[in-house]
Structure 1
């Protein structure tokens, strides 16, 4: 998977707890989709010849960011609920190809904001995985159970999808399930998702679930969910603490930057804020990404620091300033690499083009025209 990529002469915020957290000038070598070597100073002469060399002068490299909640097919229609339209009525009019187009459009927007992994609670897995393969962004597909009468079909969707795609290190997709309504809670639901994944529960559904393998989205305080099992959307960031994850609800920015701004305004450390979108987020779903280090997936984001107001002399750049820069929305995203594949380069998306976008925009116009 992927070409041999060498990033050299770059500032690197690794987010590692075992190796150097910040490298003021160093290199990253990605081979076969995996980070093979990271270090300070000049590139070792014994590395395999790269297929591509990226000059990191004036650039800051961070791990790809992870958002642990979204509904990809509805992101382009955000705000539609305010017009009195319920989600089931929207879904009933969409084909699998419609869901694919809308999901791909969402993934493209997220990739352009430096997000390399997204958890999505869309009810049908196949369109989401197709969109992931087209755009090149990793997805955790967690089909949503709202009506308890749909339990059997929900379980079949998870089981069949896991057999096709749930292969760590081989697929861009992972599979689990989500409970989106408290009335759908039953005993033993956690046994219907892959054993290496948490069961995702939305809002007050956590009130009736007392299981260890859980990922709670916007949990109410009464659930007493620990931060390492919690995810908060932009609507509930007043309850967020470092170590909890981030989710994207109706956020019109297609990014995590609004979450970062709220957390920063509440006085939290930039390193803790970024850590919650990288290393700690990855741990919640047992992924190896979120850190730039040997043996980790080659998921990185390259930020351009050569333009004002974030032109920073290399001599004064440190881990705290680098994290503060990374969580601001100002630096231009120069490149995004996922598993050794370059999906954003020079600020532009490489994997899908205007034909897909045009089809998606036409579908959105058609939907809006019916309501």
Structure 2
């Protein structure tokens, strides 16, 4: 893990690769023009191996630009900070107070505030619906640190920090952006007719109700990537590339050694757009237990992988065009 820009990206991102932008959009356009084949038709023809190749190729291409990101969670901040000068100028910290005692949470905020003054850190905090805990801990949160409140707590922050509500059933806080992670709950909430800025994470049939691209421009990409990693890992219980299974890692080397556990679908296209809008650069990338990118440079095994994937695209196009 030594070396500048070596530790990269949360491992969960590979599940939500943008299947329809790069590199498939060329093939989809051709197939639509030639055979009226849709994205859904194409998905049903792909095997798990096909999906793995396509997703890997798309992720690699997207990640060959941008900047390096580190994701850490809970209170394990110190060891990552020590590596910060060697690795990156930016760190994302995720926190779920549901699994921390009051003392642990307070210690975390105090230390993170100290580190925040030392380096430019981007943090996101997921809080429970406890007003007493919010009032006690929020003064320790840097002003520019967004707070995600889980549940129905509706409270104004005295210093005006950005607050995002996660899965609320109470819509009385009209000025707060809302994120729904459950399609049924989302559908239930939008039937109230309330005009709110809803960011749709799961489910389809909602594009007519919300212009999600407009909403996305109001959110910092890194914040959304962090939250997506947290929500996704809990829902799908998968941590591809994580050091310690079952929770977000303090440091993750991006690893595509295995195909994603779920196949991307049309319904997940919104998530794909969020995550891959401005994808971080990959400095070290592992595919099939082989390092294909090292130090930002594509190795020979990586070129072989690209060629194999390209050949598979050509085969797919030929099969579907018959």
Compare relative contact order (CA 8 Å, sep 6+) and give the higher one, 1 or 2.
Answer: 2
TM-score (norm 2): 0.39
Larger helix percent: 2
Q: Normalized against structure 1, the TM-score is what?
A: 0.35
Q: When you count strand as a share of all residues, which structure comes out higher? A: 1
